[in-house]
Amino acid sequence: MGKIIAIANQKGGVGKTTTAVNLAACLAHLGKKVLLVDIDPQGNATSGIGIEKGDIDECMYNLLVEGMKAREIIRPTNIEHLHIIPATIQLAGAEIELVSVVSREILLKSALEPIKEQYDFIFIDCPPSLGLLTLNALTAADAVLIPVQCEYYALEGLSQLLNTIRLVQKHLNTSLKLDGVVLTMLDARTNLGIQVIQEVKKYFREKVYDTIIPRNVRLSEAPSHGKPIILYDVRSKGAEVYIELAKEVLARG
Ligand code: ADP
Ligand code: MG
C-alpha cells in the first residue's frame, strides 16, 4: 500500500512526464487510488492532466518552501481516483530559497508521509536535473523508475543518474529501490531502436520492463488537450501500451 515511485532521468525529453501522467491515469482507470506529484517547475504533468495555470492557487512551491500540508494542496483531476499536487514556474526559485534550510532534502518525504496510505500509488514527475527537487523525490520514494529513450545516446548520462541513486541510498533513503527501466519512443521502422533495446537490456537485465513504449502521434497530441491518452484516444496504440505498462507495474508489485 502507498507505494511512492519517482520517475527520474536528468535528460529532458525522454518521456518522464508522458509516463508519469499516463501510468498514473491508467492505474486510476484500473481502479487504484493514485496521486500524481509534479515537482518540475515546468508543470508539464499539471497541464497534461488538464489543470490550467491560472486555476492554481497552491502548488508544490507552497508545500516545499512554505511548509503547507499536502492535504491542503492536493486536488482532484478529471479522472476518477486520480489526485494531483500541481507545480508551477514559481517552483523554479525553490532550490535557491531552500539553500539554507536544514534537512532540505527530506521536505517532500515529510510532506507525503501523512497522506501516503490514502493512495495505492504516488508518482513523482521529476525535472530534468539532479538538483534539490530530484533529490527530494528520490528521498521520498520507495522506488525509482527510469524512462530511457530508444535513441543513439540512450545510455549516456545514466551512470551519473545511477551514481546519484547510490548516494541517496547511502545517505538519505536506504530503502530506495531501482524499480525498473522503461524504454520509450521506439521507432520500430529502424534497426537503431532494436540495437538500443539490446544494449539497455544487457546493462539493466530484468530491470527493463517488457512493455516498450513506441512512438505514437496520439501520445504527443494528448498533453495539448490536457488529457491522458486513455481520455484523449482510448483506442490508440499509446493507450494500449500504457495500460499494458500499468498492468506490468501491478504484476511486479
Ligand atoms: P520529459 O518529461 O522526460 O522531458 P516528455 O514526456 O515531456 O519528456 O516527452 C518529451 C516530448 O516527447 C513531449 O512533447 C511528448 O509529448 C513527446 N512524447 C513522449 N513520449 C512519446 C511517445 N511515446 N510517442 C510520441 N511522442 C512522445
Ligand atoms: Mg517532463
> 17 in ligand 1 pocket by Cβ < 6 Å?
yes
How far is residue 167's CA from residue 88's CA, in Å, rounded to a whole number?
28
Residue identifier of the C-alpha nearest atom 12 of ligand 1: 13
CA dihedral 105, 108, 110, 114 (to 10 degrees): -170
Which atom of ligand 1 is the closest one to the Cα of 12? 4
Please check whether residue 206 lies inside any domain of the structure: yes
Q: Does 20 sit in the ligand 1 pocket, CB within 6 Å?
A: no
Continuous segment of H or E residues that includes residue 197: helix 191-204
Look at residue 57 and tell me if it is in a domain. Answer: yes
Closest protein CA for atom 6 of ligand 1? 15
Residue 253 lies in a domain: no
Write the CB contacts of 238 (distance below 8 Å, at least 6 apart in sequence).
22, 213, 214, 216, 218, 219, 222, 229
Q: Is the ipTM of this complex over 0.90?
A: yes
- CA 32 centroid distance within chain: 17
Taking the CA of 10 as reference, the closest ligand is 1
**CATH number reported for the structural domain that contains residue 166 in this entry:** 3.40.50.300
pLDDT at 210: 97
Residue 190: the pLDDT is 84
223 lines ligand 1 (CB under 6 A): yes
Report the residue among 23, 186, 220, 244 best suited for mutation to probe ligand 1: largest number of ligand atoms under 8 A from its CB. Answer: 220
Q: Tens-digit pLDDT profile for the chain (253 aa)?
A: 799 999 999 999 999 999 999 999 999 999 999 999 999 999 999 999 999 988 999 999 999 999 999 999 999 999 999 999 999 999 999 999 999 998 999 999 999 999 999 999 999 999 999 999 999 999 999 999 999 999 888 888 899 999 999 999 999 999 999 999 999 999 988 888 888 999 999 999 999 999 999 999 999 999 999 999 999 999 999 999 999 999 999 999 8
What pTM does this model have? 0.98
> Does residue 73 lie within any of the structural domains?
yes
Does ligand 1 have an atom closer than 6 angstroms to the CB of 224? no
What's the 128 CA to ligand 1 centre distance in angstroms? 13
Q: What is the dihedral of CA 150, 15, 1, 112, to 10 degrees?
A: 140
8-state DSSP, 60 = H
- Per-position DSSP letters for the chain, written without gaps between them: --EEEEE--SSTTSSHHHHHHHHHHHHHHTT--EEEEE--TT-HHHHHTT--GGG-SS-HHHHHTS---HHHH-EE-SSTTEEEE---GGGGGHHHHTTT-TTTTSHHHHHHGGGGGG-SEEEEE--SSSSHHHHHHHHH-SEEEEEEESSTTTTTTHHHHHHHHHHHHHHT-TT-EEEEEEEE-B-TTSHHHHHHHHHHHHHHGGGB-S--PBP-HHHHHGGGGT--HHHH-TTSHHHHHHHHHHHHHHHH-
- Give residue 154's pLDDT: 82
The amino acid sitting at 152 is Y
Give the position, in ligand 1's atom list, of the atom nearest the Cα of 14: 3
pLDDT of residue 192: 87
Q: How far is the CA of 14 from the centre of ligand 2 (A)?
A: 8
Q: Does the beta carbon of 185 lie inside 6 Å of ligand 1?
A: yes
Domain limits for position 156:
3-246
- Our mutation pick for probing the ligand 1 site, out of 11, 18, 19, counting the most ligand atoms within 8 A of Cβ, is 18
Q: Return the C-alpha cell found at 116.
A: 501516503
- Which residues face 75 on adjacent strands? 84
Identity of the residue numbered 225: H
The number of distinct structural domains making up the chain is 1
In a domain, 252, yes or no: no
Task: Establish if 71 belongs to a structural domain.
Answer: yes
Cα(217) to centroid(ligand 1), Å? 10
Which residue has its alpha carbon closest to ligand 1 atom 19? 15
Residue 251, in any domain of the structure? no
Grid coordinates given for 35? 496521486
Helix (H) or strand (E) holding 79: none
pLDDT of residue 75: 97
Supply the pLDDT for residue 188.
Answer: 81
Q: Assess if residue 47 is contained within a domain.
A: yes
